[in-house]
Structure 1
Amino acid sequence: MSDRPHGYARYRLDGCRCYVCGYAVSRYNENRDKAIIAGTWQPWVDAEPVRVHIRHLQSCSMGLRAIATAANVDRKRLQSILNGRPERGTGPQEKLRPALAAAVLAVEPTLDNLGGAVIVSAVGTVRRLQALVAAGWSQERLAAELGMTSTNCSRLINADTVIVRTARRVRDLYDRLWNADPAEHGARLVDIGRTKARAAHAGWAPVGAWDEDTIDDPAALPDWTGHCGTARGISAHTDQGIPMCPRCQAAADRRRLRNEAQARRALTTARA
């Protein structure tokens, strides 16, 4: 008897006629008939985009087993998509069920999927560490929390690349400390102030400048005030004593040039 789970596949492939398998087939047929009537029936999709995506994931150091686990499919299904079943004399699949294609295409190379020794961009790691320093957590304390030396932590806080294992540790540390008060964890107020001043001098963005959707995006810029890049953001920097960020500095430069151009036009009109 097959160890395949009871359902549509076991009914069709293994001939099981139990209630669960029969019900699954009944629901499948009902949904198929409705889709045919609605003109949305699509039993198969092209396998090539899925094959390309699998190869992309492999190029990011994800093995077939990891991809299969993330997609919640059998690894042999992925092997069939890539290479077919040589023992059966078949080549790579040309068509796939939509659900299988969607499951594989939804897999992305994230920190949770990649191997611990894989090298990735350090953008998110650096931003998290710098934001914690801006919140008053000293590099020495962060190094101790991460189980590394202060020297290695100092290198990490300005690194270009990092291994996944370290990136995960920093991410977990950030999730634990981003809204915690260093003073409540034994840090002296004078040390907290000195640490914040060091971060401000270096221009490191604080925790509030990032959210989950931007902190790992290399193209994203920190939003220091909640309105950076606008006149309101420029005012917030000035009123709150926040160092001018690149977006607000650019907006201030544009406003200055615009005002100078208006002044020149007004002077020319007055002379005329």
Structure 2
Amino acid sequence: MAVDQARRVKASTRQRKAHRLGIKTRRDIAPVIRHLQLLRRTMSIHEIAEAASMDYTSIWKILHGARATVLPATERKILAVAPINGALLLDSTGSRRRVQALATAGWTGEEVGRQVAARRGDAWANITRVLKGQRITASLAHEIAAVYVDLQQQAPPPTTASKRAKERAQRNRWAPPAAWETVNIDDPDALPDWSAVLCEFAACSRPVKPGRALCEACDKQRRKRGTLDGYTPARNGSALVEDALWISQQQGWSLREENGRQLVAERLGVTLDALERSLYRHTNTQAESLAGKEAR
């Protein structure tokens, strides 16, 4: 305690002496701000503060013009920090897909931008350029990926803007997070796995078509009754076989092999026995129909 106090007194004495002799003890802040702006292309303020062993608030104030000068020690710490990997810009495909996937759940671009800005220590983040541009900074891509992980575990507030965001996503057939779980979302050549996207009605497990939130059966029921309250989806044999054939085609799981049938059954939420019975009846029906046509 006494040692720390003595050091502060000594430092204060040096500053008074330097001021009396006209010696500048603080440095021009312009080079520091320019370097921070360079770092912000690939790093968040939190990452810069950690790399420089400084407080987040100090970095934020320097970057936003709340300081006129800096101490030599502060200048040395900040100038010693180098951009992450030296990469300034990245392909925006993965970030664009993440924003679009969040929109399918009702998260607006404005809300995603607020979340990103809060993580970066900014007042605002431009998400529009993510949807329209081809390249974005590595820092922005990193923050969007983090926000994507957080928000897909939450439900957006039930607002008009949220409803419009979801409708826009459906019109444009944007893939939801489930479609990217087994696919590299950052690979520009990768395609979403729509067979992994199931009807959002909790009691249903049918796959949906691209751009749809409900399967055909549930959507028909909702349009007919205006609600799905009290509705229990029932999949008849024909519908089960139709869904199984679609998943088999999308995933490449052969229904001729038991392992393939097991995987399809698990995806549909039915037992292997139920699926095999439906496939057996479907095959026999086709054979009878063909025999009837040949007899005529």
TM-score range, shorter chain: 0.3 to 0.5
Give the TM-score taking structure 1 as reference length: 0.40
